[in-house]
Amino acid sequence: MATVAQLITRVQDLLSLAGGLGVQTYAEPKIIQYIRMAFEDLSDRRFWKDYTILETFALDGTTGKTTADLSSKIKYFRDIQYIFVGKYTKPLPKIPDNRPLEQIHSYGFTNSGDPACPFVITPVTTTENIHVRYRVRPSITYKENDNIPMDEELLVRFAAMMYAVNDAANQTMISMLTNLYTTRLDLLEQAENQHAKLMMSYSNSTVYEWHDA
């Protein structure tokens, strides 16, 4: 993890290797935008182990939502990786958006459209605690002292690559930066895939068949 200022310096150092760019001062505002782009794109790419947490919440027992306001924790519905209910070890399936919730009597969850609780658990009368694994999205203003919670090397290579592409650098440098970025990304993803996985086969896609909980 590095600060925005540290990332800017490292991106500038990497870009200085580009013979086709010539001697110039690299615009910090542009670099910051590429760092922002890198963080957002890479955050959405997968559920990185270092930036996801598992947390337990209580349900209200009537609406299928939590008693706590989650707006400061879970920003988007897509940031939810798994939801478990009570002591069940199998994650809940996503349910179709077009089915009335009152018709569903088996465990599942769907998008609520409510920032305070971006999901609804079914049956809506469920009272057991739920355990939600979700992606953490910190509030970042991209000021110089802000820490960016993502692999430093990956951010630097992504930002430098985008800068070179949009600055019409020579193709050799663009290819080199692209290879540096993809090599680092592949390495990190291989490391992620070596972590322990769930002990069952599970797809986070929408399902259209339910079984009683």
Mean pLDDT across the stretch 181-196?
89
**Which range has the worst mean pLDDT, 17-21, 28-32, 137-141, 178-182?**
17-21
Percent of the chain with pLDDT over 70: 87
| Spatial distance between the Cα atoms of 117 and 131, rounded to a whole number of angstroms | 14
| Spatial distance between the Cα atoms of 152 and 169, rounded to a whole number of angstroms | 23
Highest mean pLDDT among 14-23, 42-51, 161-170, 204-213: 42-51
CA-closest candidate to residue 4, choices 140, 148, 157: 148
Percent of the chain with pLDDT over 90: 69
What is the per-residue pLDDT for 138? 85
* pLDDT over 60 at 22, yes or no: no
DSSP string, 176-205: HHHHHHHHHHHHHHHHHHTS---SS----S
Mean pLDDT across the stretch 24-48?
90
Q: In the predicted model, what is the mean pLDDT of the chain?
A: 87
Segment 199-204 long-range contacts (CB within 8 Å, at least 24 positions apart):
199/89, 200/89, 200/90, 202/82, 202/90, 202/91, 204/81, 204/82, 204/91, 204/94
Q: How confident is the model at residue 97 (pLDDT cuts 50, 70, 90)?
A: confident
Q: How confident is the model at residue 198 (pLDDT cuts 50, 70, 90)?
A: low
* pLDDT over 80 at 67, yes or no: yes
Tens digits of per-residue pLDDT, 109-156? 999 999 999 999 999 999 999 999 999 988 889 999 999 999 999 999
* pLDDT over 90 at 25, yes or no: no
Is the CB of residue 101 less than 8 Å from the CB of residue 64? yes
